[in-house]
């Protein structure tokens, strides 16, 4: 394992971390983590602070470290990520770039290994995607450590003095014509675009799961105002409740309690209730 994925907190935006924005039962962070796992055996997440670290740990099954430096920035989080990942290379991106494409990562990785570059940086249009790049952890960490306290330090300039490969957009568009891997949720419009991408797929997947587990779903107790269902889950069964007066469903699983979305457990209970009514 020569390369790890390092997902950096984007920092707070109007006092909130956009990594926690919900996309049909998953946060943007969870989508980024799930896609990173397709390309890497190890993923590390760098949180904005200790509070963010604890919140991230509830969502992802990997190591999470906190940026405890006094002057927080993407450079301090980058340094912490490079020093903590414990691999020769690190693919570094932000938690708000969730559509990581394994094909483009593979192409970048082959180039940095073949020529032993210190960094492989995509150039999309006129912009360098420093937060969608692969770095050799040793030399880049050293450069960042030497920059502490230097207000004039510029990572782009520093990379030009290292053995860096800048990859033009054309090489990425051959593998990913829409350049989706570089999509970043930086505004409300971006957030809605991501939700539109996942809407149909997510609901279809939940319906499929509901169909699989509906055979194990049982009606427990029903009163004049409330109906209770027991639904099988991955680790334990879940209790689904229907408030008949308000026609409102709820579930004790984290997807519902944290985000208020109808989960597969509720959909399975609805199927069972419709079947019992027939």
The CATH number of whichever domain residue 19 belongs to comes to 3.90.550.10
pLDDT digits (tens, 9 = 90+) for 109-124: 999 988 889 999 999 9
Q: Output the pLDDT for position 1.
A: 64
Query: What does the block give as tokens for 64?
Result: 């999470």
Q: Dump pLDDT digits (tens) for 61-120.
A: 999 999 998 888 889 999 999 999 999 999 999 999 999 999 999 999 999 988 889 999
| HSE toward the beta carbon, residue 136, CA cutoff 13 A | 18
The count of structural domains within the chain is: 2
Instruction: Give me the domain span that covers residue 119.
Output: 3-186
| 204 within a domain of the structure (yes/no) | no
Task: Report the C-alpha gap between 215 and 169 in whole angstroms.
Answer: 50
13 with 100, same domain: the answer is yes
pLDDT of residue 138: 95
Same domain, 141 and 236: no
pTM to 2 decimal places? 0.75
Residues 137-182 have pLDDT tens digits of 999 999 999 888 787 899 999 999 999 999 999 999 999 999 999 9
Residue 200 inside a domain? The answer is no
Q: Is 26 in the same domain as 137?
A: yes
Domain assignment of residue 191, yes or no: no
CB atoms within 10 A of CB 103: 13
Q: Is residue 98 part of a domain?
A: yes
Same domain, 182 and 231: no
Whether residue 260 has pLDDT greater than 80: no
């Amino acid at each position: 394992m020569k390369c790890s994925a390092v997902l950096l907190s984007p920092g707070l935006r109007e006092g909130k971390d956009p990594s926690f924005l919900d996309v049909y039962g998953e946060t943007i962070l969870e989508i980024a983590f799930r896609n990173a796992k397709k390309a890497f055996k190890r993923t590390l997440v760098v949180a904005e602070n200790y509070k963010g670290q604890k919140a991230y740990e509830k969502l992802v099954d990997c190591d999470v470290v906190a940026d405890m430096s006094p002057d927080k920035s993407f450079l301090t989080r980058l340094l912490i990520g490079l020093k903590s990942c414990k691999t020769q290379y690190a693919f570094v991106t932000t938690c708000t770039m969730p559509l990581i494409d394994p094909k483009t990562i593979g192409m970048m990785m082959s180039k940095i290994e073949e020529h032993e570059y210190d960094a492989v940086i995509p150039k999309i249009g006129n912009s360098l995607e420093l937060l969608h790049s692969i770095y050799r952890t040793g030399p880049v960490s050293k450069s960042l450590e030497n920059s502490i306290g230097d207000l004039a330090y510029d990572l782009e300039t520093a990379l030009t003095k290292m053995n860096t490969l800048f990859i033009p957009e054309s090489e990425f568009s051959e593998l990913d014509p829409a350049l989706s891997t570089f999509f970043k949720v930086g505004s409300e419009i971006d957030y809605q675009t991501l939700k539109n991408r996942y809407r149909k797929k997510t609901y279809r997947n939940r319906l499929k799961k509901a169909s699989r587990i509906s055979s194990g779903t049982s009606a427990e107790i029903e009163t004049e105002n409330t109906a209770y269902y027991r639904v099988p889950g991955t680790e334990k069964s879940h209790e689904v409740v229907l408030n008949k007066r308000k026609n409102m469903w709820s579930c004790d699983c984290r997807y519902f309690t944290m985000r208020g979305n109808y989960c597969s457990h509720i959909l399975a209970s609805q199927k069972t209730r419709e079947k019992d009514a027939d």
